[in-house]
Amino acid sequence: MLSEWAEQEAVGLTDGRILLGRLIEKMREERIVIPGITVVERLAASAMHAADGMMVTKVRSLLDEGHRHQLDTLLVVKTHARQTRLSWLREPPSRVGARPLIEILDKIAIVRSTLEGIGTLPPAFGPRLAQMAKEGLPYTSQAFQQMGADRRHTVMIATLRELEATLTDGALSMFQSLVARANLRARKRLEETIALTAEQGRTRLTRIADVLEALVISAREGGDIVSTVTEIAALDIIEDDAATIRRSLRPGRPDITSELPREYHVFRQIGSRFLSSFAFEGNRAAKPLLDAVAVLAEIGGDKRRRLPDTIPLAHIERRWRRHVFTNGSIDRTCYELSTYFGLANALASGCVWVPTSRIHRSLDDLLANDKADTNTLLPHPGVDADTYLNARAATLDGARSRRNL
């Protein structure tokens, strides 16, 4: 009876010490004399091993020949000359850029196609599946091939599911890095422009000062003003200087947003592919942004397709508005950029999340996982932490007494 009960309890556990404490608590509830500690440990170890076999059996029932062939293909097919596809999937990106992000999205597509059609395991197997994923992440293709077929496929499925979350986090982080790099480049160009304008302004003001001095001297001496001015600079140059000085006197400050459209070529390569690769979710405030993301993902980066008439506009930030709305129409480049930059900010703030991500998740999921982890540490459902700690202390004291005897 205890063996069958322990096997059911072990399904959702990965730490045998917790099962050991639950076994002792169960014996006390049933008024069973607790045997030697080695007997209880052996019973817990057998239950943990049986639960491991139950999960392997369950996974085997979910796979068909096509699934097994796809999993084994990852261990054999070479992506490069001396690198298997599984090794390539786990290889981290070398740098930040559009091509590395596309490569990550390709990896996610391969992982999803491999796992497609495989049913989901009961939630109770979640902790054990996570433990198998940690076991499989450092394994090489040769190490996987040395396992039995059923266990190999189980560990590979756990590894691929964990790898999908890792790749998702990598893609989202790289997208945010591309946005940050675009801002940095635009700021650098703006600073260089300001510095160049300041240098040109000094030259321009010096020329205007020379013209004014020549005009004063010519007026006092009664000379020819035109010839005096043209000796310093041509009239067209002086006219351009005057227009430039007047423009510089207009109120306002340099705008970094005006430099960002030059970075559009990067987001044109990855934008639609990135948006269509994930299911973005968010709170109520992020609904206009998510609607805009859905529109851009549906268009797919095709410049021949026009933006819909009822395109979402509420998500556009204030700094982007005068660039997006120009001459009574919508600038498509600035509209897409404002959506990409808004999405990066929403991911960083937590207003938008991706279900398959480990980092960018909703607050409800994070709180639910913390609660589940706390409950997993308790010896039995309904037992509070104080009772558990007292039982653990009594168990250790009894083990020490028997060892001393």
State the DSSP string of 382-404: T--HHHHHHHHHHHHHHHHHHHH
Segment 141-149 mean pLDDT = 89
Query: Per-residue confidence at 255, pLDDT binned at 50, 70, 90?
Result: confident
CA atoms within 13 A on the CB side of 74: 28
Query: Per-residue confidence at 253, pLDDT binned at 50, 70, 90?
Result: low
- The pLDDT assigned to 238 comes to 75
CA torsion through residues 265, 271, 272, 273, sign: positive
Q: Which amino acid is at 300?
A: G
CA atoms within 13 A on the CB side of 385: 5
Query: Per-residue confidence at 181, pLDDT binned at 50, 70, 90?
Result: very high
Domain boundaries, the chain: 2-62+362-404, 259-361
Residue 178 · residue 270 · CB < 8 Å: yes
Query: Per-residue confidence at 405, pLDDT binned at 50, 70, 90?
Result: very low
- The pLDDT assigned to 16 comes to 86
Least confident span in 147-156, 179-188, 222-231, 323-332: 222-231
- The pLDDT assigned to 338 comes to 92
Segment 14-25 mean pLDDT = 89
Query: Per-residue confidence at 377, pLDDT binned at 50, 70, 90?
Result: very low
Residue 274 · residue 105 · CB < 8 Å: yes
CA 151 to chain centroid: 30
Specify the higher pLDDT residue, 277 or 192: 277
CA 314 to chain centroid: 24
Specify the higher pLDDT residue, 331 or 309: 331
- The pLDDT assigned to 138 comes to 85
Query: Per-residue confidence at 399, pLDDT binned at 50, 70, 90?
Result: very low
| Cross-strand partners of 330 | 325
Measured CA distances, 98 to 73, 101, 226, 273, 357 (Å): 28, 5, 57, 11, 20
How much of the chain exceeds pLDDT 90, in percent?
Answer: 25
Question: With 60 as the cut, is the pLDDT of residue 288 above it?
Answer: yes
Specify the higher pLDDT residue, 278 or 196: 278
Residue that has been written with the tokens 């639910």 in this structure: 368
What residues have CB less than 8 Å from 59, skipping those under 6 apart? 121, 150, 153, 154, 157
State the DSSP string of 86-151: HHHHTPPPSS-SHHHHHHHHHHHHHHHHHHTTPPPPPGGGHHHHHHHHHHHTT--HHHHHTS-HHH
Q: What are phi and psi of 282, to 5 degrees?
A: -165, 180
Query: Per-residue confidence at 397, pLDDT binned at 50, 70, 90?
Result: low
Q: Give the angle subtended at the CA of 369 by the CAs of 364 and 370, to the nearest 5°.
A: 100
Integer Cα distance of 357 and 21 in angstroms: 34
State the DSSP string of 5-71: HHHHHHTT-S-HHHHHHHHHHHHHHTTPPP--HHHHHHHHHHHHHHHHHHHHHHHHHH--HHHHHHH
Residue 355 · residue 361 · CB < 8 Å: yes
Mean pLDDT of the chain: 82
Residue 268 · residue 258 · CB < 8 Å: no
Question: With 60 as the cut, is the pLDDT of residue 348 above it?
Answer: yes
Query: Per-residue confidence at 46, pLDDT binned at 50, 70, 90?
Result: very high
